[in-house]
Every structure is written in C-alpha cells, then in structure tokens.
A and B are shown apart, each in its own frame.
Chain A
Amino acid sequence: MFEARLASTLTLKRIVDALREILNQSTLDCSDTGIQMQAMDNSHVSLVSLCLRKEYFEKYKCNRNISLGLDLKSLTKVLKCANGDDAVTIKAADKADKVELSFESAGKERTADYELRLLNLDQEHLAIPETEYNCVVHMPATEFARICRDMATFSESVVIACSKEGIKFSASGEMGAANIKLSETTKGEVSIQVDEPVALSFAGRYLSTFTRATPLAEKVKIGLAPDVPLLVEYPIEDYGYIRYYLAPKVDD
C-alpha cells in the first residue's frame, strides 16, 4: 500500500510541469524513504532525476516498494482539475493497475477523486557516477531562465565557460553573437566555485527545457567538469531535487 499526501497541489503541478516537456511517460519508484524517478529524453541526450524524500510529504506510507508508471499528459489533465491550494493524496494498492488522486479544498468542503490507469513501462535505469565538478555555480533560477531564453535567439548551440572571473554563456549564429557574463556577487545571489576553468558546448534547446523547473526553486545549481554531462539542479524545498544532466557537444 502506498499513500502520500501533500498540503498543496501547486508544488506537484510544478514538478510535473518541470518533467513533461522532456518526458511523455515515466515511472515513479516509491519506497519507504520517498519517491525517485529517473528517465532519459527520447533522443537520449539528457537525463532527468527526481527525488522527493518522505519528509516532503504531510503524510507518507509505503509498506512495500512500488513502481507507478505514469503518462504525464494524463497526469497533467488530472492536476488541471485541482486548485493549487487543494491538498492532494496519491494512493495505490500493491500490484495495482491504477493510482488514485484525491483532492481536498483548503476549507475541506469539497473533495474530488480521480483514478489514473498505470502503465507498464520498461524503463532503463542508468548509474549516475559521483562527480567532482570543477566548477559549481549557484544563481537565481530566474536569471538562468532568462539567459537560456536570450541565448536561444542567437544559436542552437550554447558555450558555457566558467573560470574564477565568472561564468560566461555564448551563442553565435547567422544573426550575430551573444555573450552574457555573470560574476560572483557580494550579496551571494551568484556564487562561483572554480578548481579548474571549464568550457563546454551544449544544445540550447535542452537548457531551455530544464528551465521549466524555475518556479520550483529560488536558486539553481550548475555543475561543470571536462567531458562530462552538465548538471542543472533545482532543489525542492529542503526535501528533494530535480537534477537534469545534459551530454556536451563533442568534436566530430
């Protein structure tokens, strides 16, 4: 038996919004410690990893590990039926072929239950190695979203170069070129830790997709190391995260 209750549907809506552009379907792996999900996009260029520890939930019960294969489009449709300030309870029996979502209005005067058919997804799990990133940058999530949007105007390819001087985003195309550089701020809005400078090239379209998670977090963490995927991490309060990994572009 699995049961998890969140005080606000809004955060769940935001989590699904952060996933659904990159994934159509996904399996939530529920255990007694919380919920995990990991999936590659269709073209296997990026990987998204979601972790919600049980402390994130108002109520959490999971007697036995259970995998819930969900169609994210269908889940979005169900979430549209709920108000952001409704409480939501997700329930599934052991070996169930459906999941139940119950919404309760803030004043408890309205309840609504929905059933969603579960999918049997054959999802491949990848081992994500522990990586020491040479450059770790924290910046406001809205700033990162703005940079990705502005870069997209110029080119499909974005170079991210990080050194002690700052982090620089560059894009150049037929129209011209764009360079945006952020330095560390004294107020701590932007922090930049650099062991070795790193410069890598990425597909801007994926970076833009990752910024769908912007409403979830004030700050985004970016990790860069030579010849490994970029890490873009959005914390979910103190109880979890969405991490996106993006394979760099490499010389032909």
Chain B
Amino acid sequence: KKIQGSIRNYFSAK
C-alpha cells in the first residue's frame, strides 16, 4: 500500500 509523502521530507526549511 502506498501512502502520501510530505513535501517537507524533500525540501528543507530555509
């Protein structure tokens, strides 16, 4: 089963 990832897992806070 696939779950939705979060964009935060890929782009870090500036």
B11 and A157 contact, CB distance less than 8 A:
no
Residues on B with beta carbons closer than 8 Å to the beta carbon of A229: 7, 10-11
Number of contact residues on A: which range applies? 20 to 34
Total B residues in contact with A, Cβ cutoff 8 Å: 14
Q: What sequence of 0s and 1s flags, for each residue 1-14 of chain B, a beta carbon within 8 Å of any chain A beta carbon?
A: 11111111111111
Interchain CB contact under 8 A, A125 and B14 = yes
A38-58 interface mask toward B, CB cutoff 8 Å, 1 = contact, 0 = none? 001000111100000000000
User: Judging by beta carbons under 8 Å apart, are B10 and A40 in contact?
Assistant: no
Interface residues of A in 230-252 (CB under 8 A from B): 245-252
Main secondary structure of the interface of A (DSSP, over half): strand
Contacting pair A40 B7 (CB below 8 A): yes
Contacts of A46 in B (CB 8 A): 7
> Whole-angstrom distance between the alpha carbons of A246 and B7 in the complex?
7
Q: Which residues of the partner chain A approach B7 to less than 8 Å between Cβ atoms?
A: 40, 44-47, 126, 229, 245-247
Docked complex Cα distance between A247 and B8 (Å) = 9
- The reply to whether B4 and A247 form a contact with Cβ atoms under 8 Å apart is yes
Does B6 lie within 8 Å of A249, measured CB to CB?
A: no
Instruction: Convert A112-135 into 0s and 1s, putting 1 for each residue whose CB lies closer than 8 angstroms to a CB of B.
Output: 000000000000111111000000
Residues on A with beta carbons closer than 8 Å to the beta carbon of B10: 129, 228-229, 245, 247
> B2 to chain A: closest CB distance in Å?
4
Most buried by A among B3, B6, B12: B6
A50 to chain B, nearest CB (A): 16
A247 contact set on B, CB distance < 8 A: 4-7, 9-10
Evaluate contact between A124 and B13: CB separation under 8 angstroms: yes
- How many angstroms between the C-alpha atoms of A252 and B5 in the bound complex? 10
Of all chain B residues, the one with the shortest Cβ separation from A250 is B5
- 7 further A-B contacts with Cβ under 8 Å, apart from A127-B14, A250-B5, A252-B1, are A45-B5, A126-B7, A126-B14, A127-B12, A127-B13, A245-B10, A247-B9
**A-B pairs with lowest CB-CB distance, top 8:** A126-B11, A247-B5, A249-B2, A125-B14, A252-B1, A247-B7, A250-B5, A127-B14
